[in-house]
């Protein structure tokens, strides 16, 4: 079971959208923009995960160096 996760990054919160391998939206939910909260949220999603997030924000809410 594969899951595709799109993450919309903002300074205070991110929105994660989870899509099945068949392209069906399974759920979307907000998560606080901090490393620990994001890691915990992604770990709770079952299956093999593929994560993408937008590029171009200053430091992407602290997610990239």
pLDDT digits (tens, 9 = 90+) for 36-58: 999 999 999 999 999 998 765 55
Would 65 be classed as within a structural domain? no
pTM: 0.80
Separation of alpha carbons 22 and 31, rounded Å: 25
Would 63 be classed as within a structural domain? no
Give the number of other CB atoms < 10 A from CB of residue 41.
18
pLDDT at 7: 94
At residue 4, the 3 state secondary structure works out as strand
CA nearest neighbour of 15 among 25, 23, 5, 24: 5
Separation of alpha carbons 14 and 24, rounded Å: 20
Task: Give residue 9's domain range.
Answer: 2-57
As for how many domains the chain has, the answer is 1
Specify the CATH number for the domain of residue 24. 3.30.420.300
């Amino acid at each position: 079971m594969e899951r595709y996760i799109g993450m919309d990054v903002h300074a205070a919160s991110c929105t994660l959208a989870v899509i099945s391998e068949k392209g069906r939206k399974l759920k979307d939910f907000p998560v606080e923009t901090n490393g620990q909260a994001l890691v915990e949220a992604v770990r709770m999603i079952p299956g093999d995960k593929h994560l993408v997030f937008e590029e171009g924000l200053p430091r992407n809410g602290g997610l990239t160096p």
